[in-house]
Every structure is written in structure tokens, then in C-alpha cells.
Amino acid sequence: MESQFGEKIRALREEQHLYLRQVAPLLEMDTAQLSKIEKGLRQLKREQIPTIAHILKANVNELLTLWLSDQIYAVVKDEKLGYQAMQMAEEKIRFRKENDIIG
């Protein structure tokens, strides 16, 4: 469960019966890189998420949420105070939403 995004990408790719060899060039990378992304050893660039969603016929928002979640998890995974910190950050976001600074 180290990279939910990577696991999802792989699942989607297999559903579509595509090989790394077929998908990687569409993202302008080689198979090695895409393999690492699927295993969570590399990060896909934020701006490539819409592209891969299109290639794999998946929902952009779902993939983006998974991707962001992985980024957050990376910050706190080894921290015993991680949960508290997340609650605090969440509160900050919630406050922002209540004030319509962001939709």
C-alpha cells in the first residue's frame, strides 16, 4: 500500500490490456520510468495526470486525489505526530473553504 496512485495506474493499465511499452511513450518516458511510477519509486508529474487519465480512460479527479493523498502520506508516514498534524492542516483547509477563498 505504498503508492495508491501507482497501484491504481497499474490496475487501469491492465484492465485496458496495455503494456508499459505502449503507455510509456504517450507520456514521453521509457518503460523503466513508468514501471517505477507504478511501484511508487518515482512520482508522476502533477501536470501529467490529465494525460494519463485520458490514456487509461479514467477519472481525472479520482487520480488526482490519489496522487495528492500519496504526497501527503509521504510527509507524515514516519511521524508519530502525523495524525495530529493532518487534523491541524485539515482544519486550516476547512477554515479556508468556509470563507470561500476557494470553491
Counting contacts by CB under 7 A, is residue 36 touching DNA? yes
Residue 55 near residue 23, CB atoms below 8 Å: yes
- State the residue for C-alpha cell 498534524: 85
Nearer to DNA, 37 or 53 (CB): 37
- What is the rounded CA–CA span in Å between residue 90 and residue 86? 6
Q: Which is nearer to DNA, 8 or 42 (CB)?
A: 42
Which partner from the list its own copies, DNA, none does 21 bind, CB cut-off 5 to 8 Å by kind? DNA
DSSP element (H, E) containing 33: helix 31-38
From its own copies, DNA, none, interface partner of 103 (C-beta below 5 to 8 A by class): its own copies
- Distance (Å, rounded) from C-alpha 83 to C-alpha 85? 5
Q: Which stretch binds its own copies (CB under 8 A): 11-19, 25-33, 35-43, 69-77?
A: 69-77
